[in-house]
Amino acid sequence: MVRVDQRTESSVQFLDTARELEIFTIKKCVRFPKRYARYFSDMLIRLSEEIYNDLCRANATYLDSLSAFEQREHYVKSAEKNLRCLGSQLAVAKEIFDHIEKTDCEPKEKIPVCSSSAWVIWNKYILDELRLLANLRRSDKDRKNKFITQ
C-alpha cells in the first residue's frame, strides 16, 4: 500500500481527455463574440472546468472503503452530467452562431465564429470522454465487487 503523502496522480486516459477538452474549450470560447460571452463562453468554460476538476477528484480518491467507492462514483457521475450539458449547450451555441453568420453580417464580413471542424472535434471529445467514463465505471464496479467479497 502506498502512503497518502507519497501518492501521485496517475496518468489515465479519461483524465487526459478531460484536460484536452478543457483546453480546447477555452481556446475556442475566447474567440466567440464578446456579446455572447456571458451566455456561452463563460458557461462552456465553466462546464469543461467542472468536468476536469470532478475527474481529478475521482482520480485522487483512494479506493480503500465503500464510502470511497461511492465518493468516486459521485464525481464520475457529476462529470458525465456536465459532459451531457456541455454537448447540449454546444448544440445551442452552434445553432445560434450558424444563424448569426447567415443573417447578421454583410457577405464580405462573414467570418465563421467557429469552424465546422471545431464543432466536430468538440463532439468527438465529448463522446470519447463519455465512452472512457463508461469503461471507468464498469472497471470501478468490478473493483468494488472484489473489494466487498474480500
DSSP string, 71-102: HHHHHHHHHHHHHHHHHHHHHHHHHHHHHHHH
For 109-122, how does the pLDDT look when each residue is reduced to its tens digit (9 = 90+)? 455 677 888 999 99
State residue 9's pLDDT score: 45
For 75-102, how does the pLDDT look when each residue is reduced to its tens digit (9 = 90+)? 999 999 999 999 999 999 998 888 765 5
For 26-63, how does the pLDDT look when each residue is reduced to its tens digit (9 = 90+)? 999 998 888 888 888 999 999 999 999 999 999 999 99
Cell matching residue 23: 483546453
Identify whether the C-beta of residue 59 lies closer than 8 Å to the C-beta of residue 10: yes
Identify whether the C-beta of residue 4 lies closer than 8 Å to the C-beta of residue 23: no
Residues 99 and 102: their CA atoms lie apart, in Å, by 5
pTM listed for this prediction: 0.84
